[in-house]
Structure 1
Amino acid sequence: MIPAFIITGYLGSGKTTLLLNTAKEHFSGKRVAVIVNELGEVGVDGRILKNAYSEVLELPEGCICCTMHTEFEKALTELKEKYNPELLLVETSGSAEPFPVMISLQNLGCVIEAVICLIDTKNFHLYSQDDTARHQIGSSNVLVLNKTDLVDEDTLKQVEDIVVSLWEKYLLRNLFTNEPVFKSFKLYKTSFGKLPDEVFSGVFALQEKLYHLNDKDHNHNHVQQVVYFDKPLDYEEFLNMVNNLPTNIIRLKGILKLKDLPEALVVNYSFGNLDTSYTLPHYEGRSFLVLIRSFN
């Protein structure tokens, strides 16, 4: 049976950064396969993670939690047969809930070691009312308050209190017995998604047999637009574009080739915050940016 970790969290919470740091610090020398699910036809995270992991499978069209049960299970079966990974990581879309992924993994004989939910402490107040974000928290047994370097102690404590109360309110329950799937959770406070060894050592393994919950509508309140660039951009030109984004753009990510920079730049922007600290030394594809806008 293959051990599996599910990485969930709202748009821009730091899931891909966590996976990059996890590969370096915890999984060196292991055959680790990653399944990445993103809305839209362009898989940014998959292209980035291929520089860090042995095998990366992208499921970029549609959402696992809504329409992709069959595709996900088929892809996972093929991955197990062809690659025989020692460990599986599944990064869900930022607008997806992890429960259907948990069901599929159990159906295919995987042991769910942990469901890890990342929370963007700096911007949590901007999405804390979103139902998907709340169910992501309630469906996880490892809660990670990320980007703590960007907030003060009072803000961090406020976010922690809200997250704990949301976990208790939205806790995933067995449909037939009404018993909680998780008896407890572990909370970590970190930056750049860096976590200790114990998170990946199996101490949080899910033992409960899962059953489908009551069906409910699951609507995505986001739309994606992809912009391609045939020539390298000037950095100031790029910054000017970011500074003049429409107010309904809540997420921007992509890979850019810039003038006078030898390596492609990984772009991450969410809720007004821009991060360009990661580069791809051997990227040969086109420059592109994915803009995710809210239509609430």
Structure 2
Amino acid sequence: MIPAFIITGYLGSGKTTLLLNAAREHFSEKRVAVIVNELGEVGVDGKILKNAYSEVLELPEGCICCTIHAEFEKAIRELREKYEPELLMVETSGSAEPFPVMISLQNLGCIIEGVICLIDTKNFHLYSQEDTAKHQIGSSNVLVLNKTDLVDESTLKQVEDSVVDIWNRYLLRNLFTNEPVFRSFKLYKTSFGKLPAEVFSGVFALQEKLYHLNGETHSHNHAQQVIYLDEPVDYNELLDIINKLPPDVIRLKGILKLKDFPEALVVNYSFGNLDTSYTLPHYEGKSFLVLIRSFN
């Protein structure tokens, strides 16, 4: 299982700058691979990011969800086999929607940590009516109002209200149940694509906790809280735990043994999205949940 982030946003919103800053500030000692999907014959973003990340693969012009779907899945497999990354970042083109990428990543054994949508606050009025931009916002659970240094407070408030309204109206839903894919979102206001550590703080929580359970030492993040469960729970009890989480909990990861189910369940809750699609058939340790709290 590889944790993954999808970086989306309209043309010129600051996706590549965000990736550069994240590499410098949050992933300097991690094996992070990046897949870049660009439009045009010359891939500029990929060349820039190769100076910051250990492994960068550029996909040719075309949409990941259709014309180059096979190339995307091949790239993921190649990265896993040759590089064994600890984290995967996928930067979609400015004209793409993130949902098909989410499906492909999940089918290939990746856990979606978050879908981050960059919004250009200075130029949002120029593209806010574009369907692609609306679906990018509605398909994300981390909304980033970028370039806030270029607008006044009144404009920033207008953009924020508009983005929240679009998220509510274009919220991604399950086609069969009509239930929202994301229950909530986290909104950040920033410049130069800089995000706080809390956005990425839960990425390695499960791996670190497993090391701890195996007797190895590691440093604890002061924003983490660990809950141990002595007895197996049923799935409805898990949902009840999720529904009753305090508002400052933005991530929850762990391993649970369920009643009447032979395999331990990997639990991954990120910014309103619950993923329980992976199991650990041979896990013999304790059931536990790691809560990641906001630094705000």
| Residue 76 of structure 1: aligned partner | 76
Question: Deviation string for 1:131-168 (max 9, x for gaps)?
Answer: 00000000000000000000000000000000000000
Distance 1:152 1:60 in 2: 38
| Residue 266 of structure 2: aligned partner | none
Distance 2:77 2:29 in 1: 23
Deviation at residue 72 of structure 1 after TM alignment: 0.4
Deviation at residue 8 of structure 1 after TM alignment: 0.2
Letter in 2 for 1:44: V
Letter in 1 for 2:17: T
Unpaired runs of 5+ in structure 1?
211-296
Distance 2:135 2:150 in 1: 25
Kindly indicate whether residue 184 of structure 2 is the aligned counterpart of residue 184 of structure 1: yes
Tell me which stretches of 4 or more aligned residues in structure 1 moved more than 4 Å.
Answer: none
Distance 1:15 1:140 in 2: 14
Distance 2:276 2:17 in 1: 31
TM-score when normalising by structure 2: 0.69
> Over aligned residues, Cα RMSD in angstroms?
1.2
How many positions carry a matched residue from both structures?
210
| Residue 148 of structure 1: aligned partner | 148
Deviation at residue 63 of structure 1 after TM alignment: 1.4
Deviation at residue 207 of structure 1 after TM alignment: 2.4
Residue 114 of structure 2 aligns to a residue in which SS? strand
Distance 2:174 2:69 in 1: 20
Distance 2:182 2:201 in 1: 18
Distance 1:65 1:44 in 2: 21
Distance 2:93 2:40 in 1: 10
Question: Deviation string for 1:259-278 (max 9, x for gaps)?
Answer: xxxxxxxxxxxxxxxxxxxx
Kindly indicate whether residue 167 of structure 2 is the aligned counterpart of residue 100 of structure 1: no
Alpha carbons 1:115, 1:142 under 8 Å: kept: yes
Alignment of 1:49-198 (within 5 A): 49-198=49-198
Deviation at residue 42 of structure 1 after TM alignment: 1.2
Distance 1:137 1:116 in 2: 9
Residue 207 of structure 1 aligns to a residue in which SS? strand
Residue 174 of structure 1 aligns to a residue in which SS? coil
Unpaired runs of 5+ in structure 2?
203-250, 252-269, 278-296
| Residue 270 of structure 1: aligned partner | none
Question: Deviation string for 1:17-52 (max 9, x for gaps)?
Answer: 000000000001110000000012211000000000
Distance 1:95 1:158 in 2: 24
| Residue 207 of structure 1: aligned partner | 274
Distance 1:207 1:100 in 2: 18
Letter in 2 for 1:42: V
Question: Deviation string for 1:233-256 (max 9, x for gaps)?
Answer: xxxxxxxxxxxxxxxxxxxxxxxx
Distance 1:65 1:116 in 2: 18
Alpha carbons 1:18, 1:193 under 8 Å: kept: yes
Residue 198 of structure 2 aligns to a residue in which SS? helix
Distance 2:27 2:157 in 1: 31
Question: Deviation string for 1:201-228 (max 9, x for gaps)?
Answer: 2322642589xxxxxxxxxxxxxxxxxx
TM-score when normalising by structure 1: 0.69
Distance 2:41 2:274 in 1: 35
Greater mean deviation of Cα atoms: 11-20 or 65-74: 65-74
Alpha carbons 1:21, 1:194 under 8 Å: kept: yes
Distance 1:5 1:145 in 2: 18
Distance 2:25 2:186 in 1: 20
